[in-house]
Copies of this chain bind each other. A is one copy, B any other.
Amino acid sequence: METIRRTKISDLPQCKFGDQVSVKGWVRTRRGNKQVSFIALNDGSTINNIQIVADIEKFGEDNLKPITTGACIHVIGKYVESQGKGQNGEIQATEIEIYGTADAQEYPLQKKGHSLEFLREIAHLRPRTNTFGAIFRMRHHMSYAIHKYFNDHGFFYLHTPIITASDAEGAGSMFQATTLDFNNLPRTENGKIDYSQDFFGRQTNMTVSGQLEGELGAMALGAVYTFGPTFRAENSNTPRHLAEFWMIEPEVAFYDIHDNMDLAEDFLKYLIRYALDNCKEDLAFLNEMYDKELIERLEFVLSNDFVRLTYTEGVKILEESGHKFEFPVYWGADLQSEHERYLVEKHFKRPVIMTDYPKEIKSFYMKQNEDGKTVRGMDVLFPKIGEIIGGSEREADYDKLMERIKETGMNTDPIWWYLETRKFGTAPHAGFGLGFERLMLFVTGMLNIRDVIPFPRTPKNAEF
C-alpha cells in the first residue's frame, strides 16, 4: 500500500474532489452488481458512512469476497463527487487492504435491525451500530460540555473519593469494598468481623455521593464540582436504575437557593444548547429512528423559563387537579413520578423547579426554613424524566445542623470533618446533583438507562 496520511470519515467533506485519500474503518454493508462493489464504510468518527466504489475486474471477485459486514479495511482511492443522492462524496478505490475479516456466520451484527435488548447482550459490539455510535458520541459531547461550562464559570473540578467510610445520604444501600478473605474472616474476641484487619483498617464502602467532600472543597476553593462514578446496591431491575452511574455535583460557597436554581437552569440549558449545536447528525438520527419529538422537546426546554414553585404550592395544585393518581397526594407525602410528571407535562407544560420540601422527606444537611417544617431543598423536574436534578441550600448553622442530626438518629462519628466546616468559618452555600444518565436519556430520547452508558451494571449483570 502507498503511505498516505489517513483521513477520518468525519473530515472527508473538507477534502477536495479529485484528492487521493486514505480511509480506514469497518464495513457496514457491501452490495453491488457484476461490475462494481459498493462498500459502506464507517470509522466511528461520524454517523455517516463513506461509500467505497470498487471495480470488480480490477480487484478480482475473490479478493473482495472477505469484505463482509464487520470486516475492517484500509482503502486508498480518489475522492469524487457522489452519483447517489444525499451523499457528498465517495471514494473510487485504487487499493484495498483487509485488516480483519468478520465471519458472516459468527458476526452477530448483520445488516438486519436488532432489538435494543439483544444489543445489550453484545455491549462489546453495539458501539459499532448507528444507534450506539450516536449515543456514545453524544455522551462524550455532553461530558465535555459539563467540564467546559464549569471551567468557563470559574469552578474547580474536585475528585472526591470513591472508597469511603461514610454514607453521604444516611440512606442508599452500598457496596462494600474489601480485601478480607471470605474463607478466613478475621473476628474480634466477641465474634464480630474484625475490620481492623481490612485494607483500610475499618469497614469501607463505595460512595453514593461526593457531596459531603464537595462541601469541604467549596468552603476553601469557593466553587467546585465533582463528576465521577457513584454506586447504589439497590436491587432495582428497572429501566431507570443502575448500580453504577455517573453524577455531577456542583457546590458553591455564598450561594443561596435562588443562586442554586439559577445555576441549575442555566447549566441544563447550556448542555441542551451544546447538544443541539454539536451533535446535529447524531440527534437527527435519533429523532428519526426513536423519538420524533426529541429535537422539538430540546428546543422547547431552551425557549421557556422553568416554573419555580414550592412543594406546598405544588401539592395544592395536585390536590385541586381532580386527577386520579395511583399514590395519594397530601402535604407531607414524598411525591411520586406520576405527580411530578403531571405538574410538568399536564399542568405547567414546562420544566419545574420545586422547593421547600417537608424536612422529613429530605436529607439532614438541608437548610431549615423558619417555619420549622420545611427545608430549602430543590428538585428540577423534566418532561419524560421526572427528577433530573436534586439539590439544596445547605444548613450552615452548626447548632441547627446538630439538632436535625439528633432528630434523625444519625451517627456523627464518621463525619466529624464535615461538621467542622460549620465550626470553622461557616458560610452559606448550596449545590445539587445531576444524574448524568438521566441527562443522557433526556438528550438522546432513549427510554432505558442501560442504553446510555457503555457497560451497564445492574443486578446479576457485570459483564464486559
A221 touching B396, Cβ below 8 Å:
no
* Chain A positions 99-130 with a Cβ under 8 Å from a chain B Cβ: 99-103, 106-107, 123-125, 127-128
Interchain residue pairs with CB less than 8 A apart (21): A8-B222, A24-B254, A44-B253, A70-B424, A72-B427, A100-B426, A102-B423, A124-B216, A128-B220, A136-B221, A158-B454, A159-B229, A160-B455, A161-B455, A163-B231, A163-B462, A164-B462, A165-B463, A176-B176, A176-B179, A213-B464
Q: Which of B6, B147, B179, B462 contacts A200 (CB 8 A)?
A: B462
Number of copies: 2
Q: Collect the chain B residues with CB atoms within 8 Å of residue A418's CB.
A: 124
Q: Collect the chain B residues with CB atoms within 8 Å of residue A270's CB.
A: none
Q: Collect the chain B residues with CB atoms within 8 Å of residue A44's CB.
A: 156, 220-223, 253
Task: Give the docked Cα–Cα distance between A424 and B254 (Å).
Answer: 55
- Give the nearest-CB partner of A99 in chain B: B427
Q: Is A425 an interface residue (CB 8 A)?
A: yes
Q: Is A304 an interface residue (CB 8 A)?
A: no
* Chain A positions 447-464 with a Cβ under 8 Å from a chain B Cβ: 453-455, 457, 459-464
Interface residues of A, Cβ cutoff 8 Å to B: 6, 8, 10, 24-27, 43-45, 70-72, 74, 99-103, 106-107, 123-125, 127-128, 132-133, 136-137, 139-140, 143-144, 147, 151, 154-165, 173, 175-180, 182-183, 185, 193, 199-202, 204, 206, 213, 216-217, 219-223, 228-229, 231, 233, 235, 243-244, 246, 253-254, 396, 417-418, 420-428, 453-455, 457, 459-464
A224 to chain B, nearest CB (A): 8
B158 touching A417, Cβ below 8 Å:
no
Q: Which of B157, B180, B460 contacts A143 (CB 8 A)?
A: B157
Q: Collect the chain B residues with CB atoms within 8 Å of residue A243's CB.
A: 163, 199-200
Q: Collect the chain B residues with CB atoms within 8 Å of residue A26's CB.
A: 219-220, 425
Task: Give the docked Cα–Cα distance between A139 and B220 (Å).
Answer: 15
Q: Collect the chain B residues with CB atoms within 8 Å of residue A175's CB.
A: 163, 177-179, 199
Q: Which of B202, B213, B425 contacts A454 (CB 8 A)?
A: B213
A159 touching B454, Cβ below 8 Å:
yes
Task: Give the docked Cα–Cα distance between A253 and B25 (Å).
Answer: 9
Q: Collect the chain B residues with CB atoms within 8 Å of residue A223's CB.
A: 44-45
Task: Give the docked Cα–Cα distance between A433 and B381 (Å).
Answer: 39
Task: Give the docked Cα–Cα distance between A175 and B231 (Å).
Answer: 15
Q: Collect the chain B residues with CB atoms within 8 Å of residue A100's CB.
A: 396, 422, 424-427
A159 touching B453, Cβ below 8 Å:
yes
- Give the nearest-CB partner of A246 in chain B: B159
- Give the nearest-CB partner of A193 in chain B: B182
A228 to chain B, nearest CB (A): 7
A70 touching B176, Cβ below 8 Å:
no
Q: Give the most central of A202, A421, A424, A463: most B CB within 10 Å.
A: A424
Task: Give the docked Cα–Cα distance between A27 and B8 (Å).
Answer: 54
Task: Give the docked Cα–Cα distance between A127 and B422 (Å).
Answer: 16
Task: Give the docked Cα–Cα distance between A176 and B204 (Å).
Answer: 11
In the complex with contacts A243-B199, A421-B124, A425-B99, A253-B24 CB distance below 8 A: yes
The 4 A-B pairs of least Cβ separation, nearest first, read A100-B426, A127-B220, A44-B221, A124-B417
B228 touching A420, Cβ below 8 Å:
no
Q: Collect the chain B residues with CB atoms within 8 Å of residue A102's CB.
A: 423-425
- Give the nearest-CB partner of A201 in chain B: B460
Q: Collect the chain B residues with CB atoms within 8 Å of residue A426's CB.
A: 72, 99-100
